Amino acid sequence: MTLQDAIDEFLIYLSSVRTLSDNTVTGYRNDFVHLTSYTGTERELETIKKEELLTSIGYMSQKKMAAASINRYIAAVRTLFAYCKKMSYIEKNPALDLKTVKLPKRIPKFLTEKEVDDLCIAPKETELLWENRDRAIFEMLYSSGCRVSELSNLKFSDFTDGFHAALIRGKGKKDRYVYFADDAQAALKNYLDDREKIFVNLKKEDDCEYVFVNQRGGHLSVRGISWILSRYSGPEGTNHQISPHALRHTFATAMLGNGADVRLVQELLGHSSVSTTQRYTHITTEKLIETYNKAHPHAGDKNEQK
């Protein structure tokens, strides 16, 4: 069996048997493009050696690719060859001992309360696009901690208890409830009033069952939401460029900073592991220390400057 044949079969397995999302399968496919560009698509599986895989990883490092991207590639390659070994396509797994690279410690980017407020009023102050829709997007991302893909795919049928909560499908096709605070609900209702007036013939049960639509009445995509946020957080708006994921980080940081239990926040975010959620605890702790050092008259930073 050739490498390309194995990849094609494995991608079908991920999609049909493991029922991974389209985005996840696309991520695997992109990683395998790098693998085949280095080894060739017609190579027999049994001829691929560990040394070649290590060299392909080294090539990515030379290209100064992010450590997270390299680790994702390593994980994809290991999973592919583990599958091939399980299916008896190979006798020895060349990827078995591949080690991931060390990730630099990064604090997820998040916004202050004022920065969130500035962003949410930017649609009204700048009049760039669609004021009520765009404010509803920002309020709901911040209020719920949703991933941008989850908000993009939100349907009217997902809501429960009015607009207070929604049942969404997250990563790994796991369902969870997310909640929308009063400001988010008010912003959503204003947007839906707008939508009904603009698209008189666009019914919830017709062409677009999705909550958020573009200015033509079609489904607003992930890319569309990201572009909208880039406009309002760019020079025309707050001039504090952020991604939609920063609002998810901000939600988690605010919840933990205000005393929410880490297990509750884990459930609201849809994290598989509590350790992923706990990194936000470190953020709030570091922020507390930073604030203390700046504000207290006997703090270390002030004493060192004297």
Per the CB < 8 A criterion, the answer to whether 60 and 73 are in contact is: yes
Q: Tokens representing 247?
A: 């609002």
Token couple for 272: 């598989």
Show which residues are catalytic.
147, 171, 245, 248, 271, 280
The structure tokens 């006798």 sit at 91
- Are the C-beta atoms of residues 122 and 166 closer than 8 Å to each other? no
* Structure-derived torsion over alpha carbons of residues 252, 256, 261, 265, reported in degrees to the nearest 10: 0
For residue 253 the two structure tokens come to: 């940081």
CB 141 within 8 A of CB 151: yes
The answer to whether the CB of 14 falls within 8 A of the CB of 25 is yes
DSSP three-state, residue 179: strand
